[in-house]
Amino acid sequence: MQQTELPITGTLSSLSGCSTVPPIPRVILTTIAAAIITVIGIVFSITIVVLTLASTQFGPRMLRNCVRDVGTQVALGAFVATFCYTMITLVSVGGGERGEFVPHLSITVALVLTMANVGVLIYFLNHVAVMIQLPVVIAGIAKTLTAEIEAENHAGLPVEGAERGPSYEELLSRLAESGAPIRTPRSGYLQVIRMRKLVKVASKAGAVIELPYRPGHFFVAGQVMARVWPPDAAAAVEQILAFGHIAGAYRTLPQDISFGVDQLVEIALRALSPAINDTFTGMTCVDWIADGLCRISRSWHPQRVRYDAHGEIRVIAYQPDFERLVQRAFDTIRQAAAGMPAIMIRQLDALAKIVEQTPDRARQTVLRRQAEAIQKLNLDTVPDPGDREDVTRRYNAVMALVGSGDEPTSSETLAG
């Protein structure tokens, strides 16, 4: 059988024209896309691990803070954007009658983005290592709480000039006697109240809306969520009130100062539990709680009323007072700190800092009661005399700042 031999030149020419050999630009873009999608998988895996650790150490309510972290979002966005850009560029590389089309500029941009993503990956790894540290998490919550305190202090101020219309007490009486109830259509936590929208609606209808609950309270379907006076305006207000608030499955920090305090308290309680016994984390939480309460004691003047452009009261909303916030910040931590003089001393130090920045006498009385409760716990639960004496010295320092008042505050009286 005779064999036919092909010329070498013909064979090379046929291979060079074979469509199965990929061009170099396509190989480059494919390699970049494969590398980026691999990094995306690693980054998502690291993020899931971080969320798992956050749920275990900080509590499940802290997961939203980790998910909303700007650094993590930027890193994931950079990787995904580079992958999408590379795939779009890869599609544009194609053949034609006169040869392959090569988008040189797009390939150069893809290479630059790949080098930039190396820096983003290094930043992400360092950011995650910092983000999962408890002091950083606690400071982040405290910063958000401070911003919300400042925002609430500037809300609800009346317009310039004299107030008009019925007084606050008169409107409360009318709402209690003949206010029409409006019931919530669904269950969930009250997250946000759109005050400006409610004021606009009430002003247009010539009505007054009372909101007996604040953001953070839980609604059951059919529960009274508001009252409207006069009753004739209830139908018009009810149609828009459903869009004037947001209810969901969880609490949020905007408009809910108590939730920011509760987050710090929750971390402290987990740290002080017998399973973890992390005293230093508990003291860190107490320090940042003191920072928030110092700001509240200086400038927290919750406005229960909202005015329209004419100076008339249109919305009456519930706001937590200073005493309630102090109780939420100190009571549960104090109860968990039985027999732990280090936490008692840190709480008394925090009270001393708050008292120094609290000019109001009534608010000082609230702080004094907390100091008395801590001292009573000290005398009842701390067995070592030296530790009891250390706590008592800090307690006496707080009493020297706040004054004894009319109520007994000495350690001897508390011991009796």
Across 82-96, 171-185, 279-293, the highest mean pLDDT is recorded for: 279-293
305-307, strands of its sheet edge to edge: 180-183, 224-229, 208-211, 313-317, 305-307
Confidence of residue 393 (pLDDT cuts 50, 70, 90): very high
Least confident of 85-89, 135-139, 213-217, 407-411: 407-411
Give yes or no for residue 189 having a pLDDT over 70: yes
- One-letter amino acid at 136 equals V
Burial of 136 (0-12, 13-18, 19+ CB in 10 A): exposed
What's the average model confidence in pLDDT over 245-269? 86
What does pLDDT average to over the chain? 82
DSSP 244: S
pLDDT in tens, 351-386: 999 999 998 888 999 999 999 999 999 999 999 999
Helix axes 341-356, 322-336, angle to 10 degrees: 160
Instruction: Write the DSSP assignment of 72-116 as a string of letters.
Output: HHHHHHHHHHHHHHHHHHHHH-B--TTS-B--HHHHHHHHHHHHH
What's the average model confidence in pLDDT over 193-209? 85
Instruction: Write the DSSP assignment of 304-344 as a string of letters.
Output: -EEE-TTSBEEEEE----HHHHHHHHHHHHHHHTTT-HHHH
Query: Residue 230 and residue 26: Cα distance in Å, rounded?
Result: 72
Query: Residue 181 and residue 80: Cα distance in Å, rounded?
Result: 50
Cβ(188)–Cβ(248) below 8 Å = yes
Structure tokens at 200: 């606009």
pLDDT in tens, 75-119: 989 999 999 999 998 888 765 555 567 788 888 999 999 999 999
Structure tokens at 190: 């009250």
Cis omega (within 30 of 0) on the bond before 215?
A: no
What pLDDT is recorded for position 25? 80
What pLDDT is recorded for position 9? 42
pTM of this structure: 0.77
Distances (CA, A) of 300 to 137, 259, 364, 390: 24, 16, 14, 32
Q: In this structure, what are the phi and psi dihedrals at residue 109, rounded to the nearest 5 degrees? A: -65, -40
Give yes or no for residue 190 having a pLDDT over 80: yes
89-92: long-range contacts at Cβ-Cβ below 8 A with a sequence spacing of 24 or more?
Answer: 89/29, 90/26, 90/29, 90/30, 90/33
Least confident of 30-34, 230-234, 377-381: 230-234
Name the strand (E) or helix (H) holding 362. helix 361-381
- Residue 382 CA to its chain's centroid (Å): 36
Query: Residue 297 and residue 319: Cα distance in Å, rounded?
Result: 15
Strand partners of residue 164: 312
Cα 300-346-408 angle, rounded to 5 deg? 75
Across 154-168, 175-189, 208-222, 376-390, the highest mean pLDDT is recorded for: 376-390
What pLDDT is recorded for position 305? 85
Instruction: Write the DSSP assignment of 6-41 as a string of letters.
Output: PPHHHHHHHHHT-TTS--HHHHHHHHHHHHHHHHHH
pLDDT in tens, 317-356: 888 888 999 999 999 999 999 999 999 999 999 999 999 9
What pLDDT is recorded for position 1? 44
Give yes or no for residue 15 having a pLDDT over 70: no
Give yes or no for residue 212 having a pLDDT over 90: no
Query: Residue 253 and residue 262: Cα distance in Å, rounded?
Result: 10
Query: Residue 6 and residue 116: Cα distance in Å, rounded?
Result: 50
What's the average model confidence in pLDDT over 389-409? 79
Give yes or no for residue 403 having a pLDDT over 80: no
What pLDDT is recorded for position 7? 47
* 253 against 61, higher pLDDT: 253
What pLDDT is recorded for position 381? 93
pLDDT in tens, 33-53: 999 999 999 888 888 887 887
Q: Determine how β-strand 313-317 pairs with β-strand 208-211.
A: parallel
Can you list the alpha helix ranges (DSSP code H) found in 103-167?
104-131, 134-153
Distances (CA, A) of 33 to 79, 110, 111, 153: 10, 9, 11, 50
